[in-house]
A and B are shown apart, each in its own frame.
Chain A
Amino acid sequence: MSQVYPMEVPEDRVPAATFEELAMPLFDQLYNFAHWLTQNREEAEDLVQETYAKALKGFSSFQPETNFRAWIYRILRNTFLTSRTGLKASMTVPLSTDGEETAILAPANTPEAILIERSNQQLVQGAIEQLPVHLREVLLLCEVEEMSYKEIAETLSIPMGTVMSRLSRARNALRESLRRKIKGE
């Protein structure tokens, strides 16, 4: 893992809200998101470290009135996409379906109810892990980070319509995956 050294910034160039004040409260969430993307602890640490280094370096260009969370998540996500794991994952993105409103599968059964009864978190975690990265990230940003569609669109640099379609596909895929797992397929 590469070593990161403290950066030295002249005091008069440090904005009122410092980078540290804005970025550190997001540390746990960013790490969690990074780990979900990379599925590997070391890679997640490298990703977070690189994200913080890039964000700190570019903080002077950050517009204070804009969304810091979306900004730093975008840096993390773009950094991930250029990583080896990210490049590999991006190869699986079915670009042709982006932006298209996919048909919502009406669930025939209710795996959700079974999940609640079983309280089987591992099952859900496994199902999320199996989602392609482009669906996993949109689902996590929506459900875990509780970002609005607009924030997600900003973070992933995609149109809102694409956010909605990916989210819909992610949920359907998750539901289908859980249904298969519950059935023991």
Chain B
Amino acid sequence: MPGDEWQPKLDTYLDGELPTEVMRELDAHVRSCPSCVAEVLNRLQLKRAVQASAAKRYLPTAEFRERIQKSITIRRRPAFRWGWLTAATVAALLIAGALTFYVGLQKLRREQVFSELADLHVTTLASPTPVDVVSSDRHTVKPWFQGKIPFTFNLPELKDSEFVLVGGRAAYLGQTPGAQLIYQVRKHQISVFIFQDRALSRDLSTDTPVMRKLSFNAKTWSQDGLRYFVVGDAAPEDIQSLSQLLKKAERS
């Protein structure tokens, strides 16, 4: 190919954009063509002049660079933020749920205890033989429980009170053996239940819907490892008085 025909391709040749075969051909031609060598040199010089003049002709200011740098710097927002938030929410819900469940369970257990005690009290009074040991003497009633329950207790002296001991019987509350004593004050009969405290829930309150619903008055306390329940339809003051007598007897 004559030199004139190569010349339109010289720029593309210098840009390295000719196909490999054509590049080889042109390489070989340039070595043997003085006019093409001169032209290649001229174009190369122009390329270098453009590069030298235009590259880094304009430089950005440090202030502008900083501004752009700041504008594109990604403020990394932790991806786990939502994860933690979700986890924390779930945990809070679980804790709240567990607490609600626990409180609900305790309440249910408490209500179950009083419900059972109310049932025991009512069925005892409805029974033709409400007590297994019939005696107003505490020294007769107390020994009767020996061998029947795994603990012992003291009964109050009722000589100067309105209360009368009717008798006693063994009772079971949630498979726990205990004593049920029947006292009478005027026309009202009151049940006193005594169980080992460790066998029962510690969180027991008499202010339960069961008691309110049945119009019973009740009082409970724990003393020397024993749990006392006083349940009856007597006035609250009577329940309170009997409770005081029982507490005093246990301390003596």
Contact = CB atoms under 8 A, between A and B. Distances in A.
Interface stretch (A27-35, A62-70, A73-81, A86-94): A27-35
Contacts of A71: none
For the side of the interface on B, what is the size category? 35 or more
Interface in A131-174: 139-140, 142-144, 148-149, 164, 167-168, 171, 174
B68 A171 contact: no
8 contacts: A11-B76, A24-B72, A32-B58, A36-B58, A104-B7, A112-B46, A124-B53, A143-B51
A11 B76 CA distance: 5
A121 B77 CA distance: 48
A23 B48 CA distance: 26
Given A10-B77, A27-B60, A167-B11, A144 B51 contact: yes
A98 interface: no
Interface of B: 7-8, 11-12, 15, 17, 38-39, 42-43, 45-60, 64-65, 67-79
Contacts of A142: 15
B45 A112 contact: yes
Contacts of B49: 112, 115-116, 121, 124
B60 A31 contact: yes
A182 interface: no
Given A49-B71, A104-B7, 5 more contacts: A27-B60, A107-B42, A115-B45, A128-B53, A167-B15
A143 B75 contact: no
B50 A128 contact: yes
Contacts of A49: 67-68, 71
Contact of B76 (A14, A116, A128, A168): A14
A14 B57 contact: no
A58 interface: no
A6 B75 CA distance: 7
Contact of B77 (A4, A9, A19, A24): A9
Interface string A5-25: 111111111100011100110
A33 B217 CA distance: 94
B50 A18 contact: no
A180 B79 CA distance: 62
A19 B72 contact: yes
Contact of B60 (A48, A128, A144): A48
